[in-house]
Amino acid sequence: MKKIFAYLVLFTILLYGCDESSTNGVIQTDGSTNQIAVEVVEVIDGDTIKVKYNGDIEKVRYLLIDTPETNHHTLGKQPFGEEAKQRNKEILKSGNVTIEFDVGNRLDDYGRMLAYVYVDGESVQETLLEEGLARIAYIFPPNTRYLDEFEEASKVAKERSIGIWETDNYVTNRGFNTEVLTNNNAEEKSTTEQCNIKGNINRQGKKIYHIPSGKYYEQTNPEEWFCTEQDAIQAGFKKSGE
């Protein structure tokens, strides 16, 4: 009976490893900060990759960050999603890739491994945050080992208003609000459409402006656009005398 018990203990250690435990089928770790070398097989987007780990192909979801989508079934393609993916790919190609697990769950609800990702010892998550290509998200204790460092990196991008922080309210607590950018583009287009007075400089060097109802408006190639006739006059242009 003792031999059977010993075999069962040995089998459990071999199956889960001495640095892991399993609770309700969810694999957890003991908090080791060891970095494990992996081979990147595919870059799916800015925060998800496929790697060869222990001889198997596994999906890895970056801990504590979220990047805009590139091909989501409902959200579609979000601004800066492709930039985040390409930058992620560029970083991962630049050196040796390792992953590190935190103290909590190793797998998410989709079976993806949750990890911190490094290239030559440098955090990929911190780089993406600092360059304005990711937001801090999915904070589920106890997997929060580098939250303070990540918040500092994100602060740099926010203060510089770069990437996802270029437009106010694009980044939200629930993700990325594409409607903000759509509305801004519509407002810019509306403003451009109102500035429809054409300023032209003829061969004699005379500055002439043409309004939409003018005879030569359609055939005129503008050097400048004006929103009002007063703007054109102040710029030294005279109204076409057709």
Cis ω before 68 (30° cut-off from 0): no
Residues in CB range of 105: below 8 A, 6 or more apart: 26, 27, 28, 114, 140, 143
Annotated active-site residue in 58, 69, 83, 131: 69
Specify whether 61 is catalytic: yes
Question: Residue 76 carries which DSSP code?
Answer: B
C-beta of residue 79 within 8 angstroms of C-beta of residue 181: yes
Annotated active-site residue in 61, 87, 106, 135: 61
Annotated active-site residue in 87, 100, 106, 112: 112
Residue 201: how many CB atoms within 10 A of its CB?
Answer: 14
In the block, tokens 């602060």 appear at 155
C-beta of residue 237 within 8 angstroms of C-beta of residue 222: no
Active-site residue set: 61, 69, 112
